[in-house]
Structure 1
Amino acid sequence: MGGRTVAVFTGELDVTADAVIVELHRRGVPVFRCDPAAFPAEMTLGARFGAGWTGHLRVGRRVLDVADVACAWWRRPTPITVPAEVPESQWVRREAVAGLRGVLAVLPWLNHPEDIRAAEHKPLQLATAARVGFAVPETVLTNDPDQARAFVEAYAPVIYKPLTCGVLDGGRVIYAGPVDPAALDDAVRVTAHLFQRQVPKAYEVRATVVDGRIFAARIDALSERGRQDWRSDYRNLRYTADRLPNDVADKARHYLRLLRLRFAALDFVITPGGEYVFLEANPNGQWAWIEDETGMPIADAIADALEGVAR
């Protein structure tokens, strides 16, 4: 590897990636953008191993030389699919995923896709946060209604948080919210549920970390719904560029090092007493709206990281 091209793997509509690609183009850095979902129907892969891996990805007339990749960015790609009418379609899909992602695995990455996958697990996030010294709320992960009820009784008030993005069939979204003990019936057995002690909140902070550089935004919710989960009411939020205390910043950088990440978006509740309480960390989190609201140069920092420029 060691070339100049930045490879960006994401879906067709990704304004967050667009902002970084525009900056890279401004700098004259060559960019190859594609969606892995194009493979194998619309993308051709050809790779060969000798002293190392060489080869290419071809999408239409555009070609990526894998040996010319300076850094790759796994943003928000669409999953590879194979039409059901293709013979042995599930096997074909598994082979396509293993082949393409296997070759991509040898590229130099901002965050390696396998490290992203591991760091998305909330139990690992909480364990790592505690390891670096962050305060972490008491939490239970269960599908046992008796354990859920016992936790609520011990730590009320308690909130429920989805383990994934929370988008249901039909587009409805589940946000973090308070738990009514009376609602904890046998339906809890249907799947895993994460319950967490509700932390007294003065405000929240989203800290975007890029190669050790930290862009912290204070988020003040101006509605009751937003105070429960600011993602549920973007129209009633106020943003202010902020600065993490030095000890919190050091712990944030340590957190990323332990999970082999160069980029992550960390969320904190700040209590009325000023304590930073870790909630979660997204290894592929959104940030473009934070930049728009605060003017912090996050796109420039990610472009630096992809280009290999130290600041």
Structure 2
Amino acid sequence: MTGPNQKPPGDGVPPSDPTVHWWERPSADAAGPGQADPTILRGDLGGYTPPPAATPYPSSTGDPYQQANPYAAAAPPPPSYYAQPQPTPQSAPYAAMPQQQWGAPPRPPSSSNKVVWWILGGSFGVVFLLIVGLVVLVNSGDGDNDPFGVDSSEWAGDYQFVEGTNACDLIDLTVLNQWSTTRETTTHTERGPSEYSGGGSYDCDVRNKESGRTGSEASLSLEVEFKSSYEDESDYARWKGYDTKTTGKDYDNGPVSGLGSEAYYASRQVTYTTLPNDYDFIVAAHDSNISVKVKLDVSTMGGFDKTTMQSICEAQVRKVLAALKK
């Protein structure tokens, strides 16, 4: 044990000095610094030199225990949680991974809407120009050479529909005067051909009638039909099949020569004892693209003149063919 005036053991190094480690202390039996073990760090340590006192870290609070941190300058700055994350650089050929973005997606530039409208407007403009070009081509070109036109050869022929012609003007209505001179009704219909399928027709019905229960009566009817692209058989063929199907004592029919390419007649008579007798006579013809049928009906107390009625009907058919010939 040492007193206050005695030299501390260990070459003057107090045992309580925390700055000197145990291996730095000289052995108690060492003769001097030259005899220190060279394997011991600081073996040449001489007398005890107390360490310099630490300078208090200046503080506004005046805390004497607050020590300076020599590594404070090297400390990294605290991370910013609001900074934009930086992508980790990677060497080729690997591309950087996309970074996750938070919040609302970025608004596309307004110019993209203008581009879309320009594209749509250009498309509509091209379609409009194509339609106009086709219309001009169809209207300006020749119908026979126009690839988009209609092939009228399916129904065209030696006869044609004449616009503005009254159907009753195609026949002679005065032929009825030999039985009756009083006009009761006159009706007519004209239907023009279709631009795409042809056709067209004329119809006329005229009736003369005398007054009284036994007064004579006569009527004349006309049917004209032009060929169309959708018909399977001519109107002439349909008429003939219906008008000649009934035979017997009061019925007669047969061919007519010199009238179109083909023609027929058909007649019917019904006699009474106290009422006027009824006589019907039909003549129909077909030629090229036209079918014409004329029917004469007579009701009279007199007899039946078959030759006169046939002559009248044939003349009307011939008149119609001449009026509509190209």
Superposition TM-score tier, normalisation by shorter sequence? under 0.3
More helix by share: 1
TM superposition score normalised by structure 2: 0.19
Work out which structure has the larger RCO, using CA pairs closer than 8 Å and 6 or more positions apart in sequence.
1
Question: Which has the greater radius of gyration?
Answer: 2
More strand by share: 1
